[in-house]
Amino acid sequence: MTYIQKGSRSFRKTSLAMFAGGFSTFALLYCMQPLMPEFSKDFGISPATASLSLSISTIAMAVTMLFVGILSDQKGRKIIMCCSLVGASAVGLLLTLSSGFLTLLILRMIQGMILAGLPAIAMTYLSEEINPAHLGYAMGLYISGNSIGGMGGRILTSTLTDLANWRTALGILALLSIVSSVLFWQWLPASRNFKRRKVRFSDTIRTLFVPCKDPALLCLYGLGFVFMGSFVTLFNYIGYRLSAPPYLLGSGLIGWIFVVYIMGTVSSTWMGRQSDRYGRYAVMGVAIGILLLGALLTLTGSLWVMIIGIALFTFGFFGGHSIASSWVGLLALEHRAQSSALYLFFYYTGSSISGTLGGIFYASFGWNGVILMITGYMTVALILNVVLKRRGASRNTTGKRPDATRTI
């Protein structure tokens, strides 16, 4: 096989293309989060209903990601990723013309399905084309594009909404995404190691069920669900709290709170290193504790203490998510691709279900209800972590199970 080598022109172009693609994908996906209070005002809907603008996209993407790999095996990696970016950007432009909230939701569902094309295939493309010795570096650039895109999309739309309105904000973001799509197409080298193959749909369904027979993997899927569910719930409704008395912050200022995403870059790397040193069970427990402490600090009346709490919450989330996602790769000795796909499925399903469920808690009990729900989720996370320890999964740091003959 002919691999792309670090330091080469192809490597730089590939890294830039993946950064641009990741940025565009997650900017489009999460741009709705700071706009939810605006939707409540414009369409006269509750916070829980407004949260569907994000939830319907993430669940559509989660389901589609399980199967889009089949299409890429038949048609090729680059063409599917490019179509995903262009198609999602085009739908982003159509969103600005939404006459009602139902129309917006239908378009967001379509956009979520189309967006699945890049995250479901990007890592496979990099694994096939990049020299394995330099894969970690290339993957890191792609993931950094994801996180910066998620942060940038939120900040951009909230700031532009303050200056104009949410339709203008979404239109400008869509135009920027089209530019990113063109750059992605120009920069990303054509696949050299891809081999076209036919995969039957029935085979894909059957292999997806195999990891679900493993209790340890199910625990990790549960962790992904409650982590992402807690994270999206807090950020879905913090805007409602900060835009109300006594804070009365505008959309632009609320959007800048998402700068705390930078904590995720530090947390995922640092906690991953600590989990290798002290064990995944112990460090996972610390991550859960930090996330819960941060959530509880947002109950205070002080804006600055709330911001510190949100930063701690974000630190704990990214740390826990990074440990859980890497843990899946260590425990899944077979069907690793399917195991990882299922983790992402539960992860984004947690976002969809919990993001809207949190709105019910918010409507019924205010901000205390949101934190009550997150506390319940973290209690479940602690239980799942204990189950993993008792089954011996926490001792696994080499990719080999303590007892390879037994299904954990």
pLDDT confidence of 169, banded at 50, 70, 90? very high
Q: Locate 342 and state its tokens.
A: 């299922």
Q: 209-399 has which fold?
A: Growth Hormone; Chain: A; (1.20.1250)
pLDDT of residue 399: 40
CB of 216 closer than 8 Å to CB of 356: no
pLDDT of residue 52: 95
Give percent of the chain above pLDDT 90.
Answer: 51
Specify the range with the lowest mean pLDDT, choosing from 31-35, 62-66, 192-196, 301-305.
192-196
Compare 394 and 131 and report the one with higher pLDDT.
131
pLDDT of residue 278: 85
Is the pLDDT at 170 greater than 50? The verdict is yes
Is the pLDDT at 62 greater than 70? The verdict is yes
Domain layout of the chain by residue ranges = 1-188, 209-399
Is the pLDDT at 265 greater than 80? The verdict is no
How does DSSP assign 270-283, residue by residue? HHHHHHHHH-HHHH
256 class by beta-carbon count within 10 Å (0-12 exposed, 13-18 middle, 19+ buried): middle
pLDDT of residue 272: 76
Summarised one tens digit per residue, pLDDT across range 366-376 is 999 999 999 99
pLDDT of residue 342: 86
pLDDT confidence of 223, banded at 50, 70, 90? very high
CATH class of 1-188: mainly alpha
Is the pLDDT at 344 greater than 80? The verdict is yes
Our CA angle for 132, 136, 140, nearest 5°, is: 145
pLDDT confidence of 405, banded at 50, 70, 90? very low
CB of 299 closer than 8 Å to CB of 367: yes
The amino acid present at 320, given as its one-letter code, is G
> 0.85 cut: is pTM over it?
no
190 class by beta-carbon count within 10 Å (0-12 exposed, 13-18 middle, 19+ buried): exposed
Q: What's the longest Cα–Cα distance across the chain?
A: 62
d(CA 357, CA 216): 26
pLDDT confidence of 291, banded at 50, 70, 90? very high
CB atoms < 10 A from the CB of 292, how many?
22
Summarised one tens digit per residue, pLDDT across range 112-123 is 999 998 887 887
Whether 209-399 and 1-188 are alike in CATH topology: the answer is yes
- Sequence length of the chain is 408
Compare 195 and 85 and report the one with higher pLDDT.
85
pLDDT of residue 408: 27
Angle between helices 336-365 and 119-129 (to 10 degrees): 150
pLDDT of residue 144: 67
